[in-house]
Structure 1
Amino acid sequence: MDDTPHATSEPGSRPVPPDVGEHDATSDDAAPYDATSDWGAPWPPPKPPHRRTYDPLAVALGNASLLGVGYLFLGRRLLALVQVAGAVALVAVLLGRAEPWCEFAVLGWWLLTTAHGWYLARRGDPRTTARGYRLVAAALTLAVLLTVGLLRLDAAGIEDDVTRARERGDCAAVLAAQDQVGFGQRVADVRAAERGDATADACRRLDTARENLTRGLTGDTDALDSGFATLTEVLEESGHDATAGRTLDAFLGRLPVSDACRTAEVTDWLRERKPRHHVLRRTAATVRRVAPQALVSCADDLGGDSEWEHARERYRQLIDRYPDNALSGQARKGAHRATLAIELATVRERLGDAYGGQPAYCSKPARYSAAPAAREGATNRALIYGNDEYTDRLPKSWRADDATKAALVVCVDETEADDKGSAVRTCPYEAKNAVGGVKQVTFHKIAIPVKVYALRTGRLVADRTVEIGGASCPRWLRYEYYLTDFGPPSDMPVKETAADVRAAFEPLIRRG
């Protein structure tokens, strides 16, 4: 029996290494020595833990949803939050700017985060696993992509509706179609939404222009300025010819309005405007169609209100602008009628306020072309003013009671004491204080300055001194005297009769 001691081990005790000095290294009973073994570890040493693997495709698909799902598979919550926050920020910028680089930024973020998830999954991570999540990630990403695709398709359909409505010139349909664009469509295709918004905005501005043009039909030229300025701005933006043209046609279709003078004011404004766009040039045809009748009717209305100056101006506008128009003959007659009315009003104004003396006409004559012509050898009725002492004794048959019936205007000055007519006769009269007791008195015709105007032309046809004859050398001479007087005055007027007055003035009236 071998007395060599052997080490024993009990459960839970550490093994005792064999005595190298006592045992041969090649002994069959000795366990092989492992210099790298841990004396505190169980024997034989345990197998290393199994290293978990990752599914890069699942992680990449999860991140492709832009919802941070791939990062959540890896347990990277912070990265998931960053991905979602970055996507939200880029979408906000895209909605605000709607420029191509914004869309490329969103696409770049999508590719970057998807590739980053793939990269992290390939490295591996002992804390979690993404194996088995491919279907979940694919379903989420597919749902997102499908939603975006459907929204883009819907946005494209709305844009088509807006485009067709714009090409028809139907702004109401444009606004109705664009109202269907929601937040989802804007996110999915922001540029299409922005194009629709631009078209809708143009239609809203055209609605404002339509309101201004309607107000302009009342003669408000400021409103017309504003309305046509808006039309021009919209037409300078490509693609709005039909909508702007329809707005313009609606305005032009309301001409003429019931008030002819308002219509004339609008057509005057349109005629003077120089349109910069070919759509606006169609106003010229409307002006040619509407303006002539508006001008004539307006002039007739003004004449009815005795506003003859404005009436003549409207008649002359038609004659000057549309000489070949069928209404030009009517306009010429109207202009002539207005001219006569203006002349008559001027004559009446200058003949008024005479108050027994001479009116303003006598120093500032005017013509009335419709007055009767003064005829030679005939009694021409006249308007006679001034020196009522003598003119009141003229026959009533010589007088006209209105400027429309008079051929002449006779202006008679007052008789001055120093004015003496031709000497008629000299006779002696007793005078106590005169030398020899006799005073020689010479009798003179009554001299009166007179001007005669032909009312038809306003020309001065006579400027002379009328001499009224009469009886001279009466038996008894009446005169005013003072104590210092030396008898009657040396010169005295004759004693006229109504016949004498008539005889003096008759050559002026009969124009023989």
Structure 2
Amino acid sequence: MTRTPFHEPEYPGPDWPPPAPPRPPREPDPLAVAVGNASLLGAGYLMLGRRGLFWAAVPVTGSLLWLTFWTAETWCELLLLLWWAVCVEHGRRLARRDPAAGARRGQRVLAVALTLPVLASAGWLRFDAHGIEDAVVEAREDGDCAAVVDAQGRVGFGHRLAAAPVAARGDTAVGTCERLDTAAGYLSGGLTGDLDMLTTGYARLGSVLRGPGNDRTVEATLRHFLGRLPTDDGCLTLRIADWLRERGREPRSLHGPSIATAARIAPGALMECGDALMAEEEWADARDRYRRLLDEHPGDDRAEAAREGITKAGLAIDLDRVRQLVTEADSMRTGYCRKPAKYARAPAPRKGANRALFVGDTEYTAKLPEAWRAGDAADAALVVCADETEAGDVVETCRYRGHEGGVHSVAFNKLTVRVKVYALRTGKLVADRTVQIGGSSCPGVLRYFGSVPSRQAVTPSAADVRKAFGPVVGR
């Protein structure tokens, strides 16, 4: 059996493990370093092995990008551009100081591979942002706020990072459209008759108009509002037209279209409002609208209809006045009897039967036949005012024995009533006379209170009353 010789293990010496071979010295390419730093990613500093500069540059770049994104100011872009130029030049100079500096194809390819996508993306985003801005501007010039919003909706995060001021201008345009949308809401509220909302809407339009480049969008908003006129309510349309006509303090671009629209809708609104007020029996207001139509728009096609409306309203006013006076006439000194009025559409008085309104003291006129009476002032030819009844001619004297004894003579007299007769068509007095009403006298039993009266009125029948008043009304 062969014995394997025993060897003592070898222990490493103090230089174990052997030191790693030194890194080969960097041989930077100044152009590659400059191009790498042009990416704003600090790649050039990494090519130089300057990690400290890399970690210092990255937060500065991020801060400048954040500042540009949120402020959207041109000076921030200029500051970022200055930082870009400083990084490029600083990296190039550091590389040139290196004794081993020289052209290195690999470094250049790497630098271009890193920087080209960054710059190309930034350039494309800026180009696209300006294209979007052009679309926004074109839409504003067309007065199309919907197109403005649609165009600006294509702006993304990259656009706001690479072209923040451009994107911000689009945001301003969208904000203007939102203000116009709010103004349009107030104007729509004004179409319900709320003139305060109209005032607010116009004030907001004027505020937007003071901003540059907003003429067309404001004009479109105003045109849309004015195009919704007239409304279905003529009186409401008239209120709005009057309000529009008084907007003298508005800018010309608002005042001019408003005045033109008021002139367009006012004639029809006056006519429609007059007709509506006639239907509501607001005669005086209706006549006022018709008169305004003739005064302000004498050549309008509705002028003849307005004249007819004035006539109808005037007649209705007269009829209302007569009705009121008739209602108030409870004596010869009140209502129609004190202040007679005319109604031109009343039937003309004629020979023979005339229907009349009997007012004043109606104790006996109430007994006249219904055929003689007019149910309303619109149907009457005459108004007959009757005064209080007084004693008339004595027709018979009779003797009666009193309760206490003795014989007494009692004179029976007719009833006299003063009447005034007015022709309702003209309101003029056509008769002022006294009628005497006869009746039965000397009854078998005389009813009385106290002592025997010396005079007593006859007791008229309906026929007696009719006979007395027949000549008054032509019957």
TM-score normalised by L of structure 1: 0.70
| Match of residue 140, structure 2, among 162, 166, 186 | 166
- Written as runs of structure 1 = structure 2, the 5 A alignment for 1:117-136 is 117-118=91-92, 120-121=94-95, 132=104, 133-134=107-108, 136=110
**Does 2:399 correspond to 1:429?**
yes
Match of 2:274? Answer: 299
Q: CA deviation at 1:175?
A: 2.6
Q: CA deviation at 1:334?
A: 0.9
Contact preservation (8 Å) 1:58, 1:130: no
Contact preservation (8 Å) 1:366, 1:457: no
**Does 2:375 correspond to 1:401?**
yes
Aligned length: 448
Match of 2:305? Answer: 330
Q: Letter of the aligned partner of 2:391 in structure 1?
A: G
**Does 2:38 correspond to 1:74?**
no
> C-alpha separation between the residues in 2 aligned to 1:131 and 1:445?
148
| Match of residue 479, structure 1, among 431, 434, 446 | 446
Contact preservation (8 Å) 2:412, 2:442: no
CA 469–384 in structure 1, closer or farther in 2 if over 3 Å, else same: closer
Q: CA deviation at 1:159?
A: 1.6
Q: CA deviation at 1:245?
A: 2.1
CA 256–475 in structure 1, closer or farther in 2 if over 3 Å, else same: closer
| Match of residue 318, structure 1, among 289, 293, 303 | 293
- Written as runs of structure 1 = structure 2, the 5 A alignment for 1:249-398 is 249-257=223-231, 260=234, 263-274=237-248, 276-280=250-254, 281-304=256-279, 306=281, 308=283, 311-345=286-320, 347-348=322-323, 367=341, 369-372=343-346, 381-385=355-359, 389-394=363-368, 398=372
> C-alpha separation between the residues in 2 aligned to 1:169 and 1:212?
19
- Written as runs of structure 1 = structure 2, the 5 A alignment for 1:56-205 is 57-118=31-92, 120-121=94-95, 132=104, 133-134=107-108, 136-137=110-111, 140-205=114-179
| Match of residue 436, structure 2, among 453, 456, 468 | 468
Report the structure number with the largest CA radius of gyration: 1
Q: Letter of the aligned partner of 2:264 in structure 1?
A: R
CA 389–245 in structure 1, closer or farther in 2 if over 3 Å, else same: closer
Q: CA deviation at 1:337?
A: 1.0
CA 148–459 in structure 1, closer or farther in 2 if over 3 Å, else same: farther
Contact preservation (8 Å) 1:299, 1:310: yes
Q: CA deviation at 1:383?
A: 0.7
> C-alpha separation between the residues in 1 aligned to 2:387 and 2:81?
106
CA 427–240 in structure 1, closer or farther in 2 if over 3 Å, else same: same
> C-alpha separation between the residues in 2 aligned to 1:475 and 1:180?
114
Contact preservation (8 Å) 1:169, 1:245: yes
CA 422–351 in structure 1, closer or farther in 2 if over 3 Å, else same: closer
Q: CA deviation at 1:87?
A: 1.8
Q: Letter of the aligned partner of 1:446 in structure 2?
A: L
**Does 2:455 correspond to 1:491?**
yes
SS of residue paired to 2:299? coil
Deviations 1:276-322 (A, max 9, x none): 23332213223322331233234334534555455444434423432
Unaligned runs of 5+ in 1: 1-49
Q: CA deviation at 1:439?
A: 3.6
SS of residue paired to 1:421? strand
Unaligned runs of 5+ in 2: 1-23
